[in-house]
Amino acid sequence: MDEFEKHKEEERIRRGYTESYLSAMTRRLNLQMIGSFIRDGSDKVSISYDSFNQREADAYSKLENRLTEKYGKKEADEIITHVNEYSFVVEEIYFSLGMKTGATLHCKLTDNFETDI
């Protein structure tokens, strides 16, 4: 079992989660899984069942702790400010692409009044 599979199994055990055929299909349809596939062609993603807020808080805390340990509090704050400026632009781009993709898909699915295909 490789490191990724071990991590997935530990996460399942931690949450008391066992996989059935239905849950396996649901997992493959999960937006985190689809997003990972679209972003980098990978189906190896560890699905998090935490809320968006909790996931963001955990990621921020890890970044802040690592930078503070390595560079000190003041320098870490400056680095985080630059990282935030960058990530805001990337988030805007992904949001815009998602909205355009959704609108295009909607148009493609509803542009033919003769059929439902």
Average pLDDT over residues 3-13: 77
Do 45 and 57 fall within a single domain? no
- How many domains does the chain fold into? 2
Whole-structure pTM over 0.75, yes or no?
A: no
Q: Give the containing element (helix H, strand E) for 101.
A: helix 73-110
| Rounded Cα–Cα distance for residues 30 and 55 (Å) | 16
Q: Looking at the structure, do residues 11 and 55 belong to the same domain, yes or no?
A: no
**Residue span of the structural domain in which 42 resides:** 1-49
Give me the mean pLDDT over the 59-74 stretch.
95
Looking at the chain, the whole-number percentage of residues with pLDDT higher than 90 is 42
Domain boundary among 31, 49, 67: 49
Q: Report residue 24's pLDDT band, with 50, 70 and 90 as the boundaries.
A: low
pLDDT of residue 26: 65
pLDDT at 13: 74
Q: Please tell me whether residues 34 and 88 are part of one structural domain.
A: no
Are both 114 and 62 inside the same structural domain? yes
Q: Say yes or no: 3 and 59 in one domain.
A: no
How many angstroms separate the CA atoms of 9 and 2, rounded?
11
Same domain? For 96 and 77 the reply is: yes
Q: Is 34 left (phi over 0), alpha (psi -120 to 50) or beta?
A: alpha
CA-CA-CA-CA dihedral for 11, 13, 17, 18, to nearest 10: 120
Instruction: Round to whole Å and give the CA distance between 21 and 82.
Output: 44
For residues 84 and 113, state if they share a domain. Answer: yes
Q: Which residues, other chains included, contact 43 with Cβ-Cβ below 8 Å and sequence gap of 6+?
A: 28, 33, 36, 37
Same domain, 79 and 116: yes
